[in-house]
Structure 1
Amino acid sequence: SPPPHSAESQKEEAQRKEEEIILLLKKAKLSVYRDQLDAASGFLHQAIVLAHQTHNNQAIIYTYSMMANLAYVQGQLDNAEKLFKAAMSFMLAGGTPQDDNAVIEMSLKLATIYAEQNRTELADHGFRFCTESLEAKLEKQKELPAEEHTALRKETRLLLGLCLDSRARYRASTRHLQQAGLDYQSALNICRQEQGDTHPQTLVLMSDLATILDLQGRHDDALALVQQAVDLSRSVGHPDQHVLLLNLAGILMHTGRLDDSVRVYKEALSMAQQVGDEEAVERIEEGLKEVKTRRSQEKKEDFSTNSSFIL
């Protein structure tokens, strides 16, 4: 074997450590898949130490991103913020351009974290940076010959759609309904053009836009749109069909079609139970309770109207 400290032995050592990092990252991924998040965290911490020891920039960035995503999933938002920032600073220091899709994806995650923490100024700034950078990039890509930019352009447009979708959710949560509606409409247009009319994401965006229209009191427009999403989802077998049905049932209730609403809620309930979506089951049961309340309200109103005739 080569003498210690020789160039050859250092190269071997670096290669051995790189293989070790790859193995640790694979173990971390498998642990996340098995929902063993603490174990995953342990493997990632070992990997980041080795990556720093060997100054392996690519491994440092990849490991920090994985650690950040893991912290985010666990609800450790402050920790996730620090880790995303660390990954981004290594990327930018390594010469990755600021409008690179990977940088924008991380910026979007940071904006989402700020939105969840009600740090509105940072969230607004983050979402604006993401959308404006991608729009400017798409303008530049128009000048490239078609064969060069087709795949690139699709990836960039889909990322812009994701940014608009995230910002729409944030705007809806802060009751900026008109702006949320515009973002959902733009995201839906992109998704339709890039993924097609029956893609699962297209149908979810139709349903989300319908929710905004419903909240704005445009119940008939909302009903037409969500009904279209449900019909398309039936034709293609959408994986989250019960969620679309849940939305349809709620909008039917708001338009006063209570019998139809109950029928759709019940269909959604049996689907949600089949796939074990506890959260949806809870929301459906709340919806059915609300229909009941509205029915008894209607009966009281009918009774008081009829009573006034008797008097």
Structure 2
Amino acid sequence: MAACVCRALRTALALTARAARFGPDRTHAHRSVTRTCRSGPSVSSGRLQEDGEERGHGGRQGHGGRQGLGGAALWAALGFSLFGGREEDEAQRKQDEMILLLKKAKMSLLRDQPGAAHSFLHQALGLAQQLHHQDALLYCYTLMANVALVRGQLEQAEKLFKAGLSVILSRGTPENDNAVIEISLKLASIYAQQDRLELAEHGFRFCVESLEEKLKEEKLKEEKLKEEKLKEEKLKEEKLKEEKLKEVKLKEEKLKEEPEELTEEQQMILKDTRLLLGLVLDSRSRFWTQRSDLVRAEDDLRRSLSICREEQGEDHPQTVVLLSDLASLLDLRGNRPEALVLIQRAVDLGRTQDHPEQHVLLCNMAAILLHSGDLEAAARFYREALALAKLRKDDEAVEQIQDGLKELRATRGQ
């Protein structure tokens, strides 16, 4: 159990970066292979307390997003934003103590000590509330929410994410900001796990529609910049002498052929937004699958895979995971020829890069072969998957693979 919690906490820490990206940290396995994580912080009367009850929830946590602030940005903000000029001694002492507590909390998580991290965060939150420091409040809320989420404390995580969202919106942050959408995605995922289906569907729809509208607006801005640039060139053209007219027209043609280049920052924001859309579509696909709406689940998953391929590349570890997921979904829908092509591609890519979930990919391959009637090949892949799962000490995957072998033996006995 401790190893499960620690693995999930490391994933949550790795995802505090600015971009909500697809990456190796966000590796999820076949939908039937789950983890169970328990315990987490709770909220009572605005203060954080330790919850004595243990509540579990299944599911690999592959959708951690930013936790409000990146570490370096937080320390810089704390160091310079509280008290400019002549700070009072007591306020300065609290500020230094809060910074130390946040550093200790982060180190505790890296050392697989979630209980100690919770205690440090609880103390830091109290100081942040006294100092009215919004950056520190947001950091504490979102980090504690992610800890609660990966430990299965869904109600607790919901309250903390909402508290963090309140801090973000109180700053005048627009509702379509990526930080708002990331928290909205986590809330929608929580609602889905709690079977609060209307809220979950509304949340996923908000995320998808907001991101699509944002991308549309960015495209319109880009086109408007091109038009304005073209008009500017035309005005200059009118002022030039007749002998330079030809040269101006050539520049205009070149401008039309070559699209206006975005700045590096604009390119990063655009990529971040597209990857976040892919993440939302992947989450909503699993939501549709849980509701047995496989048509909409397939559509969302194909779009998510397309975005990941374009932004991350065909051989990226997350692309491999999405290929496997789509193959398993197609197997559920009975489209086994395409499912076999996709899972074979995922397994081949996984072998070349020593994918951390290679044993799960092999298990998915064996299951699809079994459903296709190729029992000998299915047995071969199940054995390879079992050996690798034992080597990597993935007990739950071992159990899943053994269940597949039982199904295989039952099929042979028919």
TM-score greater than 0.5 by the shorter chain: yes
Aligned to 2:173: 96
Aligned to 1:283: 400
Q: Which amino acid aligns with 1:16?
A: R
Deviations along 1:268-308, one digit per CA (max 9) or x if unpaired, are 111111111111111001001100000001xxxxxxxxxxx
List alignment gaps of at least 5 residues for structure 1.
1-6, 298-311
Aligned to 1:152: 269
Aligned-pair distance for 1:236? Answer: 2.4
Give SS of 2:172's match.
coil
CA–CA distance in structure 2, aligned partners of residues 119 and 95 of structure 1:
29
Give SS of 1:8's match.
coil
Q: Which amino acid aligns with 1:260?
A: A
* Count of aligned residue pairs for this structure pair: 290
Q: Which amino acid aligns with 2:176?
A: D
Q: Which amino acid aligns with 1:149?
A: Q
Aligned-pair distance for 1:136? Answer: 1.1
Among 151, 154, 164, the alignment partner of 1:74 is 151
CA–CA distance in structure 1, aligned partners of residues 295 and 188 of structure 2:
20
Contact 1:141 1:149 in 2 (8 A): no
Matched, 1:207 2:324: yes
Q: Which amino acid aligns with 1:81?
A: E
Q: Which amino acid aligns with 1:168?
A: S
Aligned-pair distance for 1:137? Answer: 1.1
Give SS of 1:91's match.
helix
Q: CA RMSD in A?
A: 1.4
Aligned to 1:309: none
Aligned to 1:190: 307
Aligned-pair distance for 1:9? Answer: 4.3
Contact 1:44 1:63 in 2 (8 A): yes
Give SS of 2:268's match.
helix
CA–CA distance in structure 1, aligned partners of residues 217 and 362 of structure 2:
41
Aligned to 2:100: 23
Aligned-pair distance for 1:251? Answer: 0.2
Contact 1:14 1:54 in 2 (8 A): yes
Aligned to 1:8: 86
Percent identity for Structure 1 against Structure 2: 56
Contact 1:51 1:59 in 2 (8 A): yes
Give SS of 1:35's match.
coil
Aligned-pair distance for 1:17? Answer: 2.3
Aligned-pair distance for 1:30? Answer: 2.2
CA–CA distance in structure 2, aligned partners of residues 140 and 16 of structure 1:
46
TM-score normalised by L of structure 1: 0.90
CA–CA distance in structure 2, aligned partners of residues 280 and 210 of structure 1:
18
Matched, 1:141 2:207: no
CA–CA distance in structure 1, aligned partners of residues 377 and 304 of structure 2:
30
Aligned to 2:162: 85
Aligned to 1:305: none
CA–CA distance in structure 1, aligned partners of residues 356 and 305 of structure 2:
18
Aligned to 1:57: 134
Change (3 A) 1:103 1:15: farther
Aligned-pair distance for 1:13? Answer: 3.5
In terms of mean alpha carbon deviation, does 112-121 or 264-273 score higher? Answer: 264-273
List alignment gaps of at least 5 residues for structure 2.
1-84, 223-260
Aligned-pair distance for 1:240? Answer: 1.3
Aligned to 2:122: 45
By percentage of residues, which structure has more helix? 1
CA–CA distance in structure 1, aligned partners of residues 95 and 280 of structure 2:
34
Change (3 A) 1:195 1:292: same
CA–CA distance in structure 1, aligned partners of residues 173 and 99 of structure 2:
22
Aligned-pair distance for 1:19? Answer: 2.7
In terms of mean alpha carbon deviation, does 198-207 or 17-26 score higher? Answer: 17-26
Flag the structure with more relative contact order, 1 or 2, with Cα contacts below 8 A and sequence separation at least 6.
2
CA–CA distance in structure 2, aligned partners of residues 13 and 245 of structure 1:
60
Deviations along 1:87-117, one digit per CA (max 9) or x if unpaired, are 0011100122211111111111100100000
CA–CA distance in structure 2, aligned partners of residues 184 and 14 of structure 1:
51
TM-score normalised by L of structure 2: 0.68
Aligned to 2:352: 235
Among 335, 338, 342, the alignment partner of 1:225 is 342
Among 189, 206, 216, the alignment partner of 1:129 is 206
Runs of 4 or more consecutive aligned structure 1 residues displaced over 6 Å after TM superposition: none
CA–CA distance in structure 1, aligned partners of residues 92 and 87 of structure 2:
10
Give SS of 1:284's match.
helix
